[in-house]
Amino acid sequence: MAKSKTPLLDELEKGKWPSFVKDIKQAAQKSPMAEDLLQQLELSYKDKIGHWKHGGIVGVKGYGSGVIGRYSDRPDLFPNVQAFHTLRVNHPTGWFYKTDALRKLCDVWDKHGSGLTNMHGSTGDAILLGTKTEHLQPCFDDLSAAGFDLGGSGSALRTPSACVGPGRCEWACIDSLDVCYNLTMEFQDKIHRPMFPYKFKIKVSACPNDCVASIARSDFSIIGTWKGKILINPAEVTIYAGSDLDIQKEVCDLCPTKCMEWDGKTLKIHDGDCNRCMHCINLMPKALRPGKEKGATILVGGKAPIVQGALLSWVVVPFMKLEPPYAELKDLIERIQDWWDENGKSRERLGELIKRVGMRVFLKAVGLPAVPQMVKAPRSNPYVFFWPEEIQKEVK
Amino acid sequence: MPQIELAGKIYEVDEDGFLQELDKWNEEFAQAYAKTEDIEGPLTEEHWKIINYLRDYFKQFGIAPMVRKVCKDNGVDMKKLYELFPTGPAKGGCKLAGLSKPTGCV
Ligand code: HEM
Ligand code: SF4
Ligand code: SF4
């Protein structure tokens, strides 16, 4: 038997986790691109550096985003990955597929690409990994015919994504699937034709558990919540009390605001002090439910470290009712994007612009009132600016 | 380095077709190249306005302008920009204007 050409990668076929090496090898049986990808990757393992060239600008007609161009820096060794572009395909909201939709996607990709995919990219898109420039437009045309459109890339609105929400989850306070789909359709132009200073991401979680990590991975985070009382089912509480769950120790004592009382029989929640952290509901899902008046908290500014440091989104609207057609939400998004687009420097994320000019300027520009929920603590330094018009002239 | 022949002359370009030697740019280059960016027929006055603007900005600042700036300074909107350059201001416009390739997280 011939000696393996990929001894380093072969190590990764061992072990119990599904091996990407095995999968690429399987794809390589019918795709020369997948075969060369494997060989180039082996070289990268050996050299401990990437073997892709810097950048790449390719695309399809009418769109300025959706395709990420990539070229091998060793086309002499791996001619089949000389060009190895990625297409971002906008995923169905919540990643719910029927098999016939996936089959269509696979048929298009078998015809035009390497057969390799990433299900899914971190932003949410179905990623089609590796095709040549001349295949981009025909591949896009076939995708369109199959009912798929491209997602975002570059300085554009990126593909919005949402948790499964009411599709499968009893904690959903908003229809995250519908909000996400509605915003995606509303802002098609901003997704396909980059017009901003930098990227802008929207993510929708239907409750504070935040299963799409919107607070950490989107410039505009929509997180479901409720007002008023947590709904308690006393009969179910009694059943939990008889189970392994120690309600005092594991639920009440861990409540961050210490707003729960348990006397061994009755569970009381002082809802005025509850910060809707989800802990008690997570532990006693059959007994406790989010309250009846539902909506979402809107947060902005989440981003990765480059340039000014990582940020989690912070609150700008404590509570907003969300019902189709989501006019108030869309209006707020437009106002924020317009202000950012007008004032942002090249490659400055929304969070960084707000850090640079201050919440005071941001809130005034987008017409939001300053409220206590926006801060964890008031400022500790006294360098307070005043709007000139707020200063009363001295009266003699 | 790939080469491309346009209107009888040879130019050095990168894989994406962006001109490598900026001083080799001329109007025939832009005109002959327009076809590959889905622009039919001769470049119009509106095309030249944007192309010249991009070149001037690049000469002055060493980078391509932000899209919003292109729109504002030329009195066009995004829709118009894509009508003029179907492959977009970055891929289409900058390529014909002979600017080096836009980089970053595209
Ligand atoms: C080279 C000499 C000096 C340096 C580098 C210096 C530097 C500083 C700095 C950095 C602060 C804090 C400012 C702030 O946090 O906003 C400060 C505050 C202060 N300095 Fe100086 N200082 C100097 C000389 C003086 C002298 C000579 C006096 C008094 C005669 C003085 C009186 C004060 C006072 C009263 C404060 C407090 C002001 C306030 O908190 O409002 N300093 N100085
Ligand atoms: S974020 Fe909340 S509603 Fe959405 S899936 Fe997670 S737990 Fe359920
Ligand atoms: S949701 Fe959190 S804060 Fe509210 S009562 Fe339950 S544990 Fe306490």
Q: Which pLDDT value is given to residue A3?
A: 75
d(CA A378, ligand 1 centre) in Å: 25
Say yes or no for a CB contact (<8 Å) between B68 and A341: yes
Model confidence at B38: pLDDT above 70: yes
Most confident of A86-100, B36-50, B55-69: A86-100
B7 band by pLDDT with thresholds 50, 70 and 90: confident
Chain A contact for B103, CB < 8 A? yes
Tell me how far apart the alpha carbons of residues A62 and A150 are, in angstroms, rounded to a whole number. Answer: 12
Tell me if A207 CB under 6 Å of ligand 2. yes
DSSP helix/strand/coil, A87: strand
Note whether A94 and A167 are within 8 A (CB): yes
The residue assigned the tokens 């001037």 is B56
Q: Which pLDDT value is given to residue B104?
A: 61
Catalytic option among B61, B68, B105, B106: B105
DSSP annotation of A196: S
Chain A contact for B4, CB < 8 A? no
Q: Ligand 3 atom 5: the closest Cα is on which residue?
A: A274
pLDDT, tens digit (0-9, with 9 covering 90-100), for A323-358: 999 999 999 999 999 999 999 999 999 999 999 999
Model confidence at B6: pLDDT above 90: no
Cα separation values, A285 from A201, A233, A236, A240, Å: 31, 10, 9, 10
**Reported pTM:** 0.84
Q: Which ligand is nearest to the CA of A214?
A: 2
Q: Which pLDDT value is given to residue A54?
A: 82
Chain A residue with Cα closest to B65: A346
Model confidence at B103: pLDDT above 80: no
Model confidence at B105: pLDDT above 60: no
Name which of A70, A192, A195, A340 to mutate to probe chain B: the one with the most chain B Cβ atoms within 10 A of its Cβ.
A195
Chain A contact for B56, CB < 8 A? no
d(CA A298, ligand 2 centre) in Å: 16
The mean per-residue pLDDT over the stretch B25-34 comes to 93
DSSP helix/strand/coil, A262: strand
B62 band by pLDDT with thresholds 50, 70 and 90: confident
Residues in chain A predicted with pLDDT less than 70, given as ranges, are 1-2
Q: Which pLDDT value is given to residue A390?
A: 87
Q: Which pLDDT value is given to residue B106?
A: 53
Q: Higher pLDDT residue, B106 or A332? A: A332
Q: Which pLDDT value is given to residue A370?
A: 97
Tell me how far apart the alpha carbons of residues A130 and A144 are, in angstroms, rounded to a whole number. Answer: 18
What is the ipTM score, two decimals?
0.84
